[in-house]
Every structure is written in C-alpha cells, then in structure tokens.
Amino acid sequence: MLTVHRTFEAYLDTMETITILVPKSYCQGIVRSFTIQTPNGERRALQIMKREDLWTSIKYECIPDVPVEIGKSYFIYEEHGAFTDLQMGAVIRTEAFDEQFYYDGDLGITYSNDATTFKLWAPTATEVKLKLINKAGKEEQISMQRGEKGVWCATVLGNLDGIYYTYLACINLVWREAVDPYAVAVSVNGEYGVVVDLAKTRVPKPALPPLAAPVDAIIYEMHVRDFTIDPHSGVVHKGKYLGLTEFPTTEPSGTVTGLAYLKQLGVTHVELLPVNDFAGVDEHAPEKAYNWGYNPLHYNAPEGSYATDPYDPYARIHELKRAIRALQQEGIRVILDVVYNHVYIREQSSLEKLVPGYYFRHDAYGMPSNGTGVGNDLAPERKMVRKLIVDSVRFWLTEYGVDGFRFDLMGILDIDTMKEVEAVVRALHPSALLLGEGWDLPTPLPSEKKATMQNAHLLPTIAFFNDRFRDYVKGSTFHLGEQGFVLGNSEHREQVKRVIEGSHHLFSQPTQTVNYVESHDNHTLWDKMSIANYYERETIRKKRQKLATAMTLLAQGIPFLHSGQEFYRTKQGIENSYNAPDDINRIDWTRKSMHEEDVRYVQGLIRLRKWHGAFRFQTVEEIRNYLVWLEPMPSTVLAFHLYDVSAYGPWRDIIVIHHNEETELTVTLPDEERWHVVCDETRSGIDPLYTATKKIELQGIGTVVLVKGLT
C-alpha cells in the first residue's frame, strides 16, 4: 500500500494521549464518542479530554484506558461508523519513547562466509521485510522478526558477498523501501546497500607517533577531486581517491604536485571534505557535475564518484583506504569532514522512511526545523540519533584508521553527543583531532545545550573554527569591502592581538582555537582582496596574503590552511562554489609553478612553527608567562616578544613583527644584543638570514622574525 485515504486522522502523541482530527467536511467535525480497536480485535472506549475548534477541523484529545503497544496496529472508530488507523505522531519525540526503545547493541550487517545477519531499528513498524537482489537481478523478500527495543532481525544462510539489499517497512499502513542507515557499502548512487566482506579491504596502517598536542597540528583542507583534477596535475587517476596515492608527480614545468607536494610543504594533517556517500554527482557520469559533498546520503559508505569503478562496491572502500594510508605513510594524518547535522532530502532519507519524525528536530508547531539552512536538522539529543553518530565515528576510526574529525555545523549538535563522541575517540585514538564549526544556529535546542563556541568551556578538548581570528585578520567574510589588519585596516588592532595570543577570551586553552583566514566556504582571500583592495597592484596583494598566512602559522592555536592558499588560490570570484565546475574549484598546479618562491616562503613558515614550541603553547598560563607585546608601536605594526623560552626550543628569545603598510619603518628592539633574522618579507625558515642590533628595518608589508640565544 503506497497511500491511504482517511476520513479522519488519529495520532499517538504521547504514551497516554491520542489526538484525533475530524475535518469539518465530515459531520461538521462533530463526534461525541470514539473507540479504539486493539490488535486482538477488542473495542475500548476513548475518553475525550479536550475539544478544540481549528480552522478546517475539530481536534479531540483523548485518553485510552489500555496502554498502546507501539509496533502493533490499532484502529479508531467514531460514532457514525467511520474508522481510521492510529498513526505514530509526536510520541516518537518524547523521552518516554527514547527510554523504552533505546538499543545499545549492533545494527547493520554481520557478515561471514556461512551466513549474514541483518539488524534494523524500526520500532514504529508493524512489519519489516528484507529485500535481497542477487547479481542476476533476481529479488527475494524475507520477513524479519521483531525483537526487543524495536530491532528487527533476519539471518540468511549462505555466502551473500556482493548481494544488494534494502528494507521494506510498513509504518502507518504504508510500505516504504529504504537503504540500511548502517550500510557500509552501497551500489552506484547509493540506491542499494551491499553485503561486503570488509576483511578483503584491509590495508595496513603505518605506525605514526602520537601527536603530542593539538597545537602541533598544521591542517591543510582539501577536496579529493579538486586536488588532482587539473589537466596539468601529472596525476593519472585525476579527481579520484587513487590520485592521492601517486608519488611523485609533477606539473609539465617540473613543479611537484599531489602527495609529494603535501609532503614537501610540511603540513601534518589533511582535512578531506566529505568522502561519505553524498548526492549531487551522478556516479554514472561523475564528470558532468561537481559537489563539495555536504549532501549526505549514507554516513558509513564512501562516495563512489571518487572511485575508479563506482559500480564495484569494493572499489570505493579499498581505494579510499589506500588514499588514507598513502597520506599516513608520508607522515600526514587524515581528518574527515563529517556532516552529522542534516541529510540531503529529509523525506527521501532512510532515516525518515524507517522511523518517520524521529531523527529530525521539529518546532513547536510540529514542523521540521531548519537551522542548517538546507531544510532539516538532525536531532542527536535523541538517544538513537546520538547512537547513529557515535557508531559512525567509531566505524571510521576502526575500519579506516583516520586521525580526526571536523564536524560540519557542529553547533546543531548537542554537548552531550559531542562528549560521547569524544569519549569514544579518545579511547580508540587518544591523539586524534576533534574540531568543528561552533556557530549558534536557529535550531530548537536550548542554547545551553548546543555545541557552540559560546559553550566551548564545556568541551575543553574539542577545537572550534575561530571566526574572530578570520574576520579581524582579513576583514569580514560576508562584507567583501571590509578590510581587516592584513588588508591595511588597523582599526581593530587590539582585537587582532587577542586572537594572535590564543583567543583566551573565547576559549579555555589555545588548543581550542582553529586559526584561519580562508576555507572552502565563501571567497578565497585572493578573491576578497580583488574587491576590498582592488586599487592595489597584484604584487602588493600578494604581500598581504603572505602576511595573512604568516599570522595564521605563527599565532597561538591550531593553524588551518585552505589548499592553494599558499599560491593565491582563486575561484574566479565565486563565493559559494559547492557545485561550480572543475575549472572554478580545481587546484591550479600551473599557478603553483608560477609562485614557487611564495610556496617556499610558506614551507619556511611551517618549518619555523615546528622548530620551536614557543609558537605552540598548550596553555593560557604559558602564553601569559612568556608572550609580551612590544609597545608603543605604530598602528600598522604588531610585535610580540617570546622571552626566556629556551625550554621550548633552540632559541631563548623570539620576536615576531607583523607590518601591514607598504612603507619602510624602523622598529626598536628591546635590548642591544645581536638578533638573528630567520624570516623577513621574502624569506623564511630556521636558518639565520642576517643579524640586527638595536633596531630592525621593515621593508614594507610582511612578517619579520628575529631570534637570539641559540642553544
């Protein structure tokens, strides 16, 4: 049955109350008595507690005199003889429902050569069938047995490796077909789940030393397809997982590209935009469309458009694992960008089909909330939604061996869910990074429960993208003409000082701030400057971008670079390039070859940060003890002194000077000793370039780093 015609409607809204809506087109909506028919055919009277006149119907709130068993069929009769089925209403969003049906066991498939067990949580279903499709296309339906907590189970004998499957669930008299929410493998475009033997996909993980502290990370955000799709990338498997495994590769002029470039650059982590199965790219013809990947379909199965063969369910799994291992083999850890805040289309998602109304937030009027801006918000404050997320994180850690997670729109999630995620991650991978977008979004969850920046003190080991750093350093992301410090505006100089020293007015420790000036979202810094600083020559704008990158890499906290930022990445002025073509989103390796000197400058900054722990303090106390601002200074200059820091690295003292104006300027040094310059406006690294005594001459826009007390 696909649809049901109902004369009137009845909903179980709590464990004790039934709401009945009788349209005024039927007996003017007036009914004096109702009865409920139980699954054994017995009729019992309903007590009408309240009657309310609505615009087109009369609403009755009733109480049954027998408990309603969820998962069984009930019918409501009215005095004139009409009847309707009792549908599952708001009861599924009650704490009582959560308590009764929370299940802490395994879900999805358990495979062996001899049999496969399928488990599905669908407590409101009255019947569930397992649909199997073999390689010849022949279908078979198997009735599943309902167990405790609304979990349906079926064990099928034989070796089902490669068999496609879905679930058929009857809910509110309507049969719905859905892919397993716990599917670890899917067919092309995610149409079916697939039974696979994950043991066949094992790829040994190299032994990497634990990350001593989050501030030791240097994160490089990249998109699988963007990174190698350029015709000049020198990569064979362009735009694919395997493109990340090729080593070494070069652009026609000889410039290093791909994985070899990442190793050469020196970043410690790459953050991959979503690699779980998503909508927006037809896997039959992936070259015809592009998407960032924030349209989640299946949380535990890899995206097929990045595989060499999307028709082979094993290919995407094995090739993603190979890509992750290739990065790790070169000492680069892997963070996954995960999207546990919404699904692509709520009505079409497996979650909504299998337990309608449960997995998503609703407002006071019963309408789906939209804090994410894409039409739906997941509700992880509910126990089985939280379990779905925690189980998914555990799966990616154990099966794919990743090194961290970036939570998209983390502010949609609740604090308790993030704490549970954190506990699981720390138990499995103590030095894994956890970071997220802590924006406060308009979703119906109390502010004190949201995993937002405002509540960062409640999540002290999770890092947050610091939009204050971003906007004070470069200028507003959303007002393109607005200039920050690096674009020449010194108006917010004091605020810039605070974000450079770890934003301890926002966070408990510097390990919580992710410092960045651009990411995949919004305009690149280069494109913003083409508007905000349109009147300046490109050579001046390049100096400003190098200054921004230097400020990011030398600030206290966790530095984050957008791929291509180091060679002035442009998206041709496109702000939201989530579905723009490859020629907008691709990494332009020819552009990299044109700016090799600037890339070497960023490499030197990365080496400098790694070289001395004073750039990577882990506590607010250390920053207060060892970082002093040099004042007075012209408004165009920010200068700080890291003093007596030989315990943290090979230099006793370090001075960092940022200058945002294209004029020569003399800065007086705090003593008359000889200082070694290791970074200036054009060169950077750990080796002395020249010396300065008493003063240093700034040659225009840029960063200068001086050191002394070599040990």
- The first and second tokens of residue 659, run together, are 């200058």
Peptide bond into 313 cis (omega under 30): no
- Cα separation, 681 vs 690, in Å, equals 13
How many whole angstroms separate alpha carbon 95 and alpha carbon 115?
A: 37
Reported as half-sphere exposure (CB side, CA atoms, 13 A), residue 196 has a value of 23
* Residue 672 annotated in active site: no
CB 660 within 8 A of CB 636: yes
471 in active site: no
Q: Residue 121 forms beta bridges with which residues?
A: 151
Task: Mark out the alpha helices in 66-216 (DSSP H runs).
Answer: 95-101
Residue by residue, DSSP assigns 288-301 as G----S-SEEEEEE
Give burial (CB, 10 Å; 0-12/13-18/19+) of 158. Answer: exposed
Alpha-helix residue ranges (DSSP H) falling in 555-698: 582-585, 589-594, 596-611, 620-626
Whole-number Å distance between alpha carbons of 366 and 440: 22
| Burial 369-391, CB ≥16 within 10 A → b, else e | bbbbebebbbbbbbbbbbbbbbb
Quickly count: other Cβ atoms within 10 Å of residue 59's Cβ: 14
Q: Which helix (H) or strand (E) holds 335?
A: strand 333-338
Rg (alpha carbons) of the chain, rounded to whole number: 29
Distances (CA, A) of 500 to 130, 556, 616, 657, 703: 56, 6, 12, 12, 13
Which among 73, 12, 22, 79 has a CA at the least distance from the CA of 45? Answer: 79
Angle (nearest 5°) at CA 255 between 252 and 256: 115
Residue the block writes with tokens 């240097």: 218
Residue from 403, 408, 622, 681 carrying the catalytic annotation = 408
Which of 337, 437, 471, 598 is the catalytic position?
Answer: 437
Place of tokens 């890291």: 642
Indicate which residues carry an active-site annotation: 408, 437
